[in-house]
Chains A and B, each alone.
Chain A
Amino acid sequence: IAGITQAPTSQILAAGRRMTLRCTQDMRHNAMYWYRQDLGLGLRLIHYSNTAGTTGKGEVPDGYSVSRANTDDFPLTLASAVPSQTSVYFCASSSRWGLNEQFFGPGTRLTVL
């Protein structure tokens, strides 16, 4: 029983490089989310997906893209990383649109130099 897994655990990346953060859940949840956590700012929503095949923009979507080809996977891509994208990234999922709590993955610590 894994819940939500994220990979990699941590990564150091040169600015300008492309990077995909992976997220997989085995709970058959419809909704999935990507957040970034920065000191003093809490968690901010980057993108979300209500169900497979659909995605939406959150509070801070610029510089990021997502896809939801199936229920289980929700990768986050940084097309050309910049230092301001240095952060801890959390993937989350929930079983029903809106009302149910979100379950979080362990996070990916990304450093862009």
Chain B
Amino acid sequence: AQSVAQPEDQVNVAEGNPLTVKCTYSVSGNPYLFWYVQYPNRGLQFLLKYITGDNLVKGSYGFEAEFNKSQTSFHLKKPSALVSDSALYFCAVRDDDGANNLFFGTGTRLTVIP
């Protein structure tokens, strides 16, 4: 069965500092991994995905994520945080078994402090 863990409910970072939001996953086959962001009272917005290929994936708004198969991780990163990056971030995974169910983590609230 697929599952996703986001070990931190809350991450605080100073504006201009690098940020990392952690995600680990469990699937039986090859993983397809996604990051989404949710601003208050809005739906989720897609940031980036890993399907295959280069382990470093670049996405929207300067975010990137690194797929690490040995550690089963897909951490979201950004070199320099902005106050406007403050939001709720979700990691999601699906297996390559043909089913389309996307499993989401419980979310990490990122607060960028001015």
Chain A residues within 8 Å of B, Cβ to Cβ: 4, 31, 33, 35, 40-45, 48, 50, 58-59, 90, 92, 97-99, 101-107
Whether A102 and B32, one on each chain, are in contact in the complex, defined by CB atoms closer than 8 angstroms, is no
Q: Is B20 an interface residue (CB 8 A)?
A: no
| Known contacts A97-B100, A102-B102, A105-B43; is-contact A43 B51 (Cβ 8 Å) | no
Residues of chain B within 8 A of A40, CB atoms compared: 106
The distance from the CB of B52 to the nearest CB of chain A, in whole angstroms, is 10
Residues of chain B within 8 A of A107, CB atoms compared: 41-43
Q: Give the contact-size bracket for chain B.
A: 20 to 34
Residues of chain B within 8 A of A44, CB atoms compared: 104
Known: A48-B100, A99-B51, A101-B49. 18 other contacts (CB 8 A): A42-B106, A42-B107, A45-B101, A45-B102, A50-B100, A58-B101, A59-B101, A59-B103, A90-B44, A98-B94, A99-B32, A102-B44, A102-B46, A104-B36, A104-B44, A107-B41, A107-B42, A107-B43
| Known contacts A42-B106, A45-B101; is-contact A106 B43 (Cβ 8 Å) | yes
| Known contacts A99-B51, A101-B34; is-contact A42 B104 (Cβ 8 Å) | yes
Q: CA of A105 to CA of B49 in the docked complex: distance in angstroms?
A: 19
Whether A103 and B46, one on each chain, are in contact in the complex, defined by CB atoms closer than 8 angstroms, is yes
Q: List 22 A-B contacts (CB under 8 A).
A: A31-B100, A35-B104, A41-B106, A42-B104, A42-B106, A42-B107, A43-B90, A45-B103, A48-B100, A90-B43, A92-B44, A98-B32, A98-B94, A101-B34, A101-B46, A102-B46, A104-B36, A106-B41, A106-B42, A107-B41, A107-B42, A107-B43
